Amino acid sequence: PAAIHLTDYAPPQWRIEHVDLCFQLDPVDTRVRSRLQLRRAVSQEAPLVLQGEELKLINLTVDGEPVAPGNLQQDEGSLTLHELPAQCTLEMETAISPEANTALSGLYVSGGNFCTQCEAEGFRRITWFLDRPDVMTLFTVRLEADKDRFPVLLSNGNLADAGDLPEGRHYAVWHDPFPKPSYLFALVAGDLVCQQDRFTTCSGREVDLRIYVQRHNLDKCDHAMRSLKKSMRWDEDTYGREYDLDIYMIVAVDDFNMGAMENKGLNVFNSKYVLARPDTATDDDFVAIESVIAHEYFHNWSGNRVTCRDWFQLSLKEGLTVFRDQEFTADQSLRAVKRIGDVQRLRSLQFPEDAGPMAHPVRPQSYIEINNFYTMTVYEKGAEVVRMIQTLVGREGFRRGLDLYFERHDGQAVTTDDFVKAMEDANARDLRRFRRWYDQAGTPVLDVAGEYDETNQSYRLTVRQSCPPSQGQSEKLPFHIPLTLALLDSQGREIPLRLEGESQATPGERVIELTAPDHVLVFRDVPEAPVPSLLRGFSAPVKLKFPYTSEELAFLMGHDTDDFNRWEAGQQFAVQMLQGQIAHIQAGREPTLDPLFQEAFARVLDNDTLDPALVAEALTLPGETYLAEQMEVVDVDAIHQARQFTRRALGQALAARFRAVYDALQDTQGMDAAAMGRRRLRNLCLAYLCAAEDANAQALAEAQYQSADNMTDAMGALRALMDCPGEIQERSLAHFEARWREEPLVLDKWFGLQATASAPGALDRIRRLMQHPGFSIRNPNRVRAVLGAFAMANPVHFHAADGSGYELITDQVLELDALNPQIAARLVTSLSRWKRFDEQRQGLMRACLERIVAHPGLSRDVYEIASRSLG
């Protein structure tokens, strides 16, 4: 398959000013009639090339007349019309089979209902079209279906008409007054019920809010509805963005490739991000639902009103919208806790992507299959890039820039350059160098060193930036990096900062702008040797290296005035210690627990002035994938052993204190952030107690499981018990399965726990789970809960030395590819970083990738990931 390049972008030669669509819905044979009002956008004659996949063309006319056979050419994926008048009406009828659509792209059936997913290129699986985001069209959509089976008929915009038809059928007509690209089209038809509410916008307009679900899920919509109203108010208050239609609809479906989709006025959601009751969903689920609802809602401006010119600009809407949803979530709870979670995700998932064969810039320069570029880099690193702009221009400046961006580009399809330009123009700033963040892949490294000069009372920081080469980019130009820092005295107070050449010191922290490969910063009037607090709040997505001693890290853990950096110091301390343990294990020696670390850890546990959520973050050891990133050659077994050893040793050494904190946190009622924080810390204490392999702890966990009235505590207990194989664990897992086997989203938690278990016999376990009546390879959530969890979050067994884990995943990738290439391709990424492992594993992983690439009939999606990985 051929790659598509950003440099080949050319504006569309035709515009579709209006489209009328009429769907005669039938699961096996749906008929789609479309009428396109076309206008040529260039002065010279130009053929019209429409995209289409898996379509049967029934008939076609131009201005009511058939087209001469010589002027119509159908190829794989395209339909070309020659010699069209500059303005004309094209009418077509196509036939599609939604029920046979297992790729879940285009129009398909889920749970007996019709739904669509058109981003990025699913619309071409519905009808022939200019299926590209820079063609913005007014849509009028008529739906016709059997009234009993499909009583609800929805599409984008506002309802214009509805009524009955002969033979038990009915219709609805929807008109969307905002021109939009085809990827934002949606339709839903089915037997659904809705939870309804209202929202009055800041200008006083009334909006009808509806969440559509299957009837048995109607009691799980309250949280989603609350989240929607909060998001709408927050976007008005924070960014002055008001909703623009009379109705906002969300539909939950069980079979969905992504998390959710921001179709104009009609969001279609993976039910995982809608449905929640305290007894069925954990606190993390509640938070995730709130943030995805917010994310899709925020897209109404950052994505829909202003959209992308082409798919290389995907981060224009995704990076910005992730940034907006991160800020929203930060405002609902503790900002530092949100930041910690986001940075953990970035470092454990995006940094590896940026260092591997799939590395690509935030604005990729080429792709074979765009679905493969809905990545951590485009989303999460893209959000970091937006965050850095805010750090550079300040919050008010950022708001000015965003206002200008929306005002200047409303109704347009634009580029990341247009976004940066608006930020520059609104703030009279030059961000030329900053733009490199969009075009250069790889994670920059900051090597920092500090030197105190007592005689001159000065502190000298030298900062060197570098960035390792990535595919197609051997040399990198320096990045424009905001480095937020403070200097702390021995009491933990921030020393006022006066850089050489400045006449006055300023209190607090500073944002230093790094633009060159090397910087030397000399701070004056520094009365004692300071401890620097660097990259505060993770002010840039870089790897920071500073030679802190254990004592300095312990000091920062207890004293840094930046919450994020206090946590970060603990993580760095833990990484240092775990690395030492890993080396011991590799040398055949017993690991030991550093008493200084234990002390610092215990001080945090005992600190009852800190918020429990922050304490829980501080007491959570770095994850295995993050630790793997720090090693030359990844040793999954040694990493796992070291981490388990440390958990057990801390659990044993501090058992009484964990128990005391556990007991003190009895008040865990409520769904507010404070209650969630208490539950988090309490469950963490329980996990350490169980890791210590104490029989009392198992009984405590079982008692918690049995008495839990919420899923967080039930799962907290079960997760803790996963460290203790035996009767109690088996009994509890069996109880959970019996209780929740009819609730697929809850059963996914049970699948996930077992798919990630480190106990022996993982392969049999995975095979058994796949035989469970609740499992289906056709459902993306089930695949993620079992196969995804195994491949991404069970390193010890996935990387089993005999290659059995790789073989299992390879078999499943090939089976899945014939059904759903997008989901299959995601699974392949688990094999892509084979070069990071020892020689034997490298050989086994490479052989699996080669087996995949050689498989006949492979999808573009899987081919691209597997071939690049071998690259």
The residue ranges that bind ligand BAL (CB under 6 A) are: 119, 258, 260-262, 295-296, 299, 318
Q: Judging by DSSP bridges, how do beta strands 137-146 and 14-24 pair with one another?
A: parallel
The CB-of-551 to ligand BAL minimum distance in angstroms stands at 44
Distance CA 568, CA 566 (A): 5
Cα distances (Å, whole numbers) of residue 451 to 119, 454, 458, 555, 561: 53, 10, 8, 18, 22
The CB-of-185 to Zn ion minimum distance in angstroms stands at 16
When the beta carbons of 262 and 369 are compared against ligand BAL, the nearer one is 262
**Catalytic residue selected from 290, 296, 353, 568:** 296
The CB-of-228 to Zn ion minimum distance in angstroms stands at 16
When the beta carbons of 379 and 751 are compared against ligand BAL, the nearer one is 379
When the beta carbons of 36 and 260 are compared against ligand BAL, the nearer one is 260
Which residues are 482's β-sheet partners? 513
When the beta carbons of 319 and 795 are compared against ligand BAL, the nearer one is 319
Distance CA 48, CA 704 (A): 65
User: Which partner from the list Zn ion, ligand BAL, none does 255 bind, CB cut-off 5 to 8 Å by kind?
Assistant: none
When the beta carbons of 285 and 635 are compared against ligand BAL, the nearer one is 285
Which parts of 359-439 fold into alpha helices (H)?
A: 376, 382-409, 416-427, 436-439
User: Which partner from the list Zn ion, ligand BAL, none does 254 bind, CB cut-off 5 to 8 Å by kind?
Assistant: none
User: Which partner from the list ligand BAL, Zn ion, none does 49 bind, CB cut-off 5 to 8 Å by kind?
Assistant: none
* Residues 302-331 within binding reach of Zn ion (CB under 5 A): 318, 321
Distance CA 319, CA 350 (A): 13
User: Which partner from the list ligand BAL, Zn ion, none does 258 bind, CB cut-off 5 to 8 Å by kind?
Assistant: ligand BAL
The CB-of-233 to Zn ion minimum distance in angstroms stands at 20
User: Is position 296 annotated as part of the catalytic site?
Assistant: yes
With beta carbons less than 8 A apart as the criterion, state whether 79 and 215 touch.
no
When the beta carbons of 122 and 179 are compared against ligand BAL, the nearer one is 122
With beta carbons less than 8 A apart as the criterion, state whether 6 and 366 touch.
yes
User: Which partner from the list Zn ion, ligand BAL, none does 119 bind, CB cut-off 5 to 8 Å by kind?
Assistant: ligand BAL
Distance CA 175, CA 159 (A): 6
Segments of 284-424 assigned E as strands: 307-308, 366-367, 413-414
The CB-of-268 to Zn ion minimum distance in angstroms stands at 13
Distance CA 563, CA 438 (A): 29
C-beta neighbour count of 31 within 10 angstroms: 16
Cα distances (Å, whole numbers) of residue 392 to 15, 133, 423, 428, 779: 39, 30, 10, 12, 44
The CB-of-376 to ligand BAL minimum distance in angstroms stands at 12
* Residues 230-269 within binding reach of Zn ion (CB under 5 A): none
Strand order in the sheet with 260-261: 193-200, 206-213, 247-253, 266-270, 260-261
Polymer length of the chain: 871
When the beta carbons of 380 and 694 are compared against Zn ion, the nearer one is 380
With beta carbons less than 8 A apart as the criterion, state whether 147 and 25 touch.
no
Sign of the alpha-carbon torsion through 112, 117, 122, 127: positive
The CB-of-299 to Zn ion minimum distance in angstroms stands at 6
When the beta carbons of 26 and 262 are compared against ligand BAL, the nearer one is 262
Distance CA 350, CA 342 (A): 11
The CB-of-273 to Zn ion minimum distance in angstroms stands at 12
Distance CA 224, CA 276 (A): 8
Residue 871: closest CA among 826, 824, 831: 831
Q: Judging by DSSP bridges, how do beta strands 413-414 and 498-499 pair with one another?
A: unpaired
Active site residue ranges: 296
Residues that bind Zn ion (CB under 5 A): 318, 321
